[in-house]
Structure 1
């Protein structure tokens, strides 16, 4: 990644943040909580641009424009809404678990080979 990519990424992020700040207060609160959740859960796509987060802002902008409250857009269970958005996404936790499983399998195979 060169300096231009970094600068462009920062510009995109600032524009994204400006869009969030333009949302009604209830939408901003829910968005920020969702963002925290996604940063904790770590869907891999989250680090690839702002695709998932931009999609949420798009959805929220449409909801706000049509006069809906944020919970009318997400449903009352916001955590379930978030989980549904990333249900088919690979997370960093998934990647870590796969590496642990592979290491365990190697250890088990080595033990089985020694018994032969």
Structure 2
């Protein structure tokens, strides 16, 4: 990866387009599960989303292997796809970007209040 790719994010676009191409050849139930997983994973991304690329690659690999073994998406993922996404993104209690933004806002407000108070 060169500096230009880092700045523009073109490497991320290329990676995620590749994931999409890989997902298109999966059975329909896996394609639907992949779409739902990616929606839930996005909540756990950092500012650029680079932290999600290896996670998404691993999840897609799991789906590809499971489909090749003839399992259904439900057999592999169960009913709680949001829980699955949270688990692979960092386990139970993993912070979403909403959580991180809320914490930063609270810290900034506390600093301002402390500054105003004395």
Q: TM-score, normalised by structure 1?
A: 0.76
Match of 2:78 in 1: 75
Structure 1 unpaired stretches of 5+:
none
Give the direction of change, closer, same or farther, for the CA distance of 1:45–1:101 in structure 2 (3 Å limit): closer
Report the number of matched residues. Answer: 112
Match of 1:55 in 2: 58
Within-5 A mapping of 1:10-89 = 10-39=13-42, 41-44=43-46, 47-48=49-50, 50-88=53-91, 89=94
CA distance in 2, matches of 1:62, 1:108: 54
Post-superposition Cα deviations, 1:32-71, rounded to whole Å, max 9, x if no partner, equal 11112223x2422871162121111101011111111101
Contact 1:16 1:54 (8 Å CA) reproduced: yes
Structure 2 unpaired stretches of 5+:
none
Match of 2:103 in 1: 98
Match of 1:110 in 2: 115
Give the direction of change, closer, same or farther, for the CA distance of 1:90–1:72 in structure 2 (3 Å limit): same
